[in-house]
Amino acid sequence: MKTGKINPTSEHSDPQKPAPRPSEFIEPERLTETGRAVADLAHLVKNILQVMSGCGEIIDLALETNQMDRICQAWQLYQPSFWRLKKFQLDLIKYTKNYPLNPQPCDINTLIASAARQIKPFFDRRKVTFIHRPNSAQLTVIADAEKLRDMVVNMLVNAIDNLDDSPGKITLTADLTDAGQTLYLTVSDSGPRLNPAQCRALLMPLERCRNMLGSGLEIPLTAQMVQEHGGSLTMNANASETGNCIEITLPAKG
């Protein structure tokens, strides 16, 4: 199975030298990228905490004056901010650590349904129509189920952010191609189309706007997981289409 790891061992290694520390196995490029990610995303945490702090102050004052309507309004801002902060923490851990794959039989339709349930409150809040179009009654592949589910969640969150706070439509398709040898996943949205430079920018970990739902790590983390599975990821490959589309192919047999 293809992974992004580099083997640092050498046939001429000196047996008298101490064993390398775990951190020495991390590629210099990866360390540089990780440092840049932390620097670029540091203000994201600040922005989230500012929103949560402001909501907390409103809730405290509203409790003192028994203004339940203001409490409900503040909670509508607090809840997604807390979810975003939690997701950012988990995403950063996953992005900066190399966890080994755990291949096992996965029912793709079940994983997609689970991911969609997690995102459904945000579909409802932003008036997004979600369409899942499975092309087969059962899609079973050999892959890391947790990482595959994370890919779907991240692509859906990215699609919501592409809609730019406007009602829209997100469509997910999944199928087996190449006589069942390849899993083909697409997530498309009806938001303003991103140009090639913007698509390339999505591969870098950064905060795109203050009101985005995601952590800024959705596409970099998805691309990392796709590479670990030996697959491929493309964005807006068809120039004739409107909106945006992410296409992922993964080996179906691991």
Better-scored residue on pLDDT, 239 or 230: 230
Would you state the pLDDT for residue 27?
A: 58
- The pTM score is 0.77
Sorting pLDDT into bands at 50, 70 and 90, what band is 59?
A: very high
82 in the same domain as 126:
no
205 and 145 part of one domain: yes
Alpha-carbon torsion (16, 18, 20, 22), positive or negative? positive
Domain check: are 155 and 79 in the same one? no
85's tokens: 């902060």
Closest to 148 measured CA to CA, from 234, 245, 231: 231
Does one domain contain both 122 and 227? Answer: yes
Q: Give a yes or no: residue 147 inside a domain.
A: yes
- Which residues are paired to 247 by β-bridges? 186, 234
**Do 137 and 195 fall into the same domain?**
yes
Report whether 153 contacts 119 (CB < 8 A): yes
Q: Assess whether pLDDT exceeds 90 at residue 34.
A: no
Does position 3 have pLDDT exceeding 50, yes or no? no
Same domain, yes or no: 127 and 247: yes
Of the three residues 42, 66, 96, the one that is the final residue of a domain is 96
Q: What is the pLDDT of residue 36?
A: 66
Residue 69 resides in a domain: yes
% of the chain at pLDDT higher than 90 = 48
Instruction: Give the SS3 label for residue 140.
Output: strand
* Cβ neighbours around 111 below 10 Å, total: 22
Identify the domain containing residue 228 by its residue range: 103-251
How far apart CA 163 and CA 170 sit, in angstroms, is: 9
241 and 176 in one domain?
yes
Q: Give the residue from 76, 96, 116 where a domain finishes.
A: 96
Q: Classify residue 74: in a domain, yes or no.
A: yes
Cα–Cα dist 42/39, whole Å: 5
* CA dihedral for 91, 116, 212, 54, sign (positive or negative): negative
CATH number assigned to the domain comprising residue 131: 3.30.565.10
Is there a domain that residue 14 lies in? no
Q: What is the number of structural domains in the chain?
A: 2
Contact 40, 205 (CB under 8 A): yes
Domain boundary among 96, 118, 150: 96
Cβ count near 231 (within 10 Å): 20
Q: Does residue 12 belong to any structural domain of this protein?
A: no
Opening angle at CA 159, ends 156 and 160, nearest 5: 90
77 plus 115 within the same structural domain = no
> Do 79 and 120 share a domain, yes or no?
no
**Looking at per-residue confidence, does 221 or 92 come out higher?**
221
The per-residue pLDDT of the chain, averaged, comes to 83
